[in-house]
């Protein structure tokens, strides 16, 4: 999706974001990408990684293109329980909102916790912040609560626990001949890597896949603590910060 649109294979695409797989490709290839709130778009049919984090997201060359796609794919779907509370919006509502170019009355928070890693990127962000202010936006700096930072550091544990059971449930719904479980997927990857070394399968990916085979899954106590307490605390802290600012 991230290279298909800039390469001219299509004008719109859908990415699947777990930990940046819409925003990072879009940023790298000059696209507009949107990671929506989990549940706004149905995940039915998406190869799963994490029930907690997965969401599809539109990708296009323009904001208008992303909004047009969102008008089509957003909304509730009985095949995905997380999407059942997704709001029904009037036809074309996202695109009309995207074409409202005034920023008057909008408060825009700039999270600076992740800046400082690359001078050129920081300069580009500051340039956009200046444009937002000049066009009437009320731009404020926002610092993430510590609870959010603590929870975000646990993302690998959440993916590690949820990936295998979700993937195997997905595989069980495929036609005959597909792998039955993650063990078969991992074995096939190792065979492929040995038979075609020029394919250059990422060794880190093979190692991570093997770690998933050995992972205790949803019974992992650190995972249970994270999703039942840390994520709830992070959500509450972030909502409180939004109310305060």
**Residues in CB range of 185: below 8 A, 6 or more apart:** 167, 171, 179, 209
| Locus of tokens 């409202």 | 100
pLDDT at 196 over 80: no
- Say if residue 199's pLDDT is above 70: no
**Nearest Cα residue to 5 out of 95, 66, 92:** 66
pLDDT in tens, 13-69: 999 999 999 999 999 999 999 999 999 999 999 999 999 999 999 999 999 999 999
pLDDT tens-digit map of 23-35: 999 999 999 999 9
Say how many residues make up the chain: 245
What percent of the chain lies above the pLDDT cut of 70?
A: 98
| Nearest Cα residue to 47 out of 10, 9, 77, 21 | 21
Predicted local distance difference test score (pLDDT) of residue 190: 81
């Amino acid at each position: 999706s991230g290279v298909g649109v800039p390469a001219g294979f299509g004008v719109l695409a859908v990415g699947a974001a777990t930990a940046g797989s819409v925003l990072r490709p879009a940023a790298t290839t000059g696209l507009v990408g949107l990671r929506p709130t989990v549940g706004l778009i149905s995940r039915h049919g998406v190869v799963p990684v994490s029930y907690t984090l997965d969401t599809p997201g539109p990708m296009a060359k323009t904001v208008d293109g992303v909004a047009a796609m969102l008008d089509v794919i957003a909304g509730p779907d009985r095949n995905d329980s997380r999407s059942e509370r997704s709001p029904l919006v009037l036809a074309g509502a996202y695109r009309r909102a995207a074409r409202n170019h005034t920023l008057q009355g909008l408060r825009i928070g700039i999270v600076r916790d992740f800046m400082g890693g690359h001078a050129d990127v920081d300069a580009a962000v500051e340039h956009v912040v200046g444009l937002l202010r000049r066009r009437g936006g009320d731009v404020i700096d926002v610092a993430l609560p510590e609870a959010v930072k603590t929870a975000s550091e646990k993302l690998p544990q959440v993916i590690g626990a949820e990936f295998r059971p979700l993937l195997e449930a997905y595989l069980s719904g495929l036609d005959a001949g597909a792998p039955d479980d993650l063990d078969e997927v991992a074995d096939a990857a190792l065979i492929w890597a040995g038979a075609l070394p020029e394919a250059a399968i990422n060794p880190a990916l093979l190692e991570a896949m093997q770690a998933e085979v050995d992972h205790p899954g949803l019974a992992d106590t650190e995972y249970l603590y994270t999703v039942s307490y840390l994520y709830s605390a992070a959500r509450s802290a972030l909502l409180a910060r939004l109310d305060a600012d």
